[in-house]
Chain A
Amino acid sequence: EVRLAESGGGLVKPGGSLRLSCAASEFTFSSYSMNWVRQAPGKGLEWVSSISDGGNHIFYADSVKGRFTISGDKAKNSLYLQMNSLRAEDTAVYYCARDPYDTAGMDVWGQGTTVTVSS
């Protein structure tokens, strides 16, 4: 079964760092555009970052630019999100999602991992 599984969330103090992982199963993640999308408690979906198939094109939301870095490891068939200088407003459930059409139509989502930024 095609699947994505996030991990790495947790409680971190403001200014701290965290690295999220997203393991892909039954498909090669580097053959697709991949995204990170987050959802703050009680709020809507917010796109965070995208990486194109092959990794040549990377995009970030203004709210995370300069603080977050998206990357992938072909050998581990995994996507990552390195999050630095974390703020309270980064508190959210973070989802990774596959975009086979390269048009924001994300057909496979993980279950999400929760990041809480609090002192």
Chain B
Amino acid sequence: QSVLTQPPSASGTPGQRVSISCSGSSSNIGGNTVNWYQQLPGTAPKLLIYSNNQRPSGVPDRFSGSKSGTSASLAISGLQSDDEADYYCAAWDDTLNGRVVFGGGTKLTVL
């Protein structure tokens, strides 16, 4: 059972906009920033969004992040076939002397 809760799956057609949610608590999302990762099959995770809504250099602006209270969301607009991947949210958690917590991951299928 992951500390951060994500839907196990999401889907959309090319060109569509999809959103993936991430729910936490006051000790993680509520008090710290949220990060999002994309993991293509057989590869290491890639940082997609950091500090709630910041994109690292090279990440297309089709990807955006937002946070409200103890929940966060990743939005992907203009969906493309190579967006098909697993997506994870992560945040620092202030409990248990401090730790990093991940969501369980959302498998995005492009139909």
Q: Are B92 and A95 in contact (CB under 8 A)?
A: no
- Give the CA-CA distance A95 to B45 in the complex, in Å: 9
Q: Are A46 and B102 in contact (CB under 8 A)?
A: yes
- Which residues of A are found within 8 Å of B91, using beta-carbon distances? 103-104
- CB-CB contacts of A97-119 with B at 8 A, as 1s and 0s? 10001011111011110000000
A103-B33, A103-B51 given; A109·B44 CB < 8 A: yes
- Give the CA-CA distance A112 to B47 in the complex, in Å: 15
Decide if the interface of chain A is mainly helix, strand, loop or mixed.
Answer: loop
- Give the CA-CA distance A5 to B56 in the complex, in Å: 21
Task: Report A83 CB to chain B, min CB distance, Å.
Answer: 18
Question: Which of A45, A105, A112 has the largest count of B CB atoms less than 10 A from its CB?
Answer: A105
B97 at the interface (CB under 8 A from A): yes
Q: Are B56 and A107 in contact (CB under 8 A)?
A: yes
A32 at the interface (CB under 8 A from B): no
- Which residues of A are found within 8 Å of B51, using beta-carbon distances? 101, 103, 105
- Give the CA-CA distance A107 to B56 in the complex, in Å: 8
- Which residues of A are found within 8 Å of B40, using beta-carbon distances? none
Q: Are B33 and A105 in contact (CB under 8 A)?
A: yes
Contacts of A4-24 to chain B: CB distance below 8 A: none
B2 at the interface (CB under 8 A from A): yes
- CB-CB contacts of A70-109 with B at 8 A, as 1s and 0s? 0000000000000000000000000101000101111101
A selection of 29 A-B contacts at a CB cut-off of 8 Å is: A37-B100, A37-B102, A44-B86, A44-B88, A44-B102, A44-B103, A45-B37, A45-B88, A45-B90, A47-B100, A50-B100, A57-B98, A59-B99, A95-B44, A101-B51, A103-B51, A103-B91, A104-B32, A104-B35, A104-B91, A104-B92, A104-B100, A104-B101, A105-B90, A106-B47, A107-B47, A109-B45, A110-B44, A111-B44
- The 9 tightest CB contacts between A and B, nearest first, are A105-B50, A47-B100, A44-B105, A105-B35, A109-B44, A104-B100, A104-B90, A45-B102, A104-B92
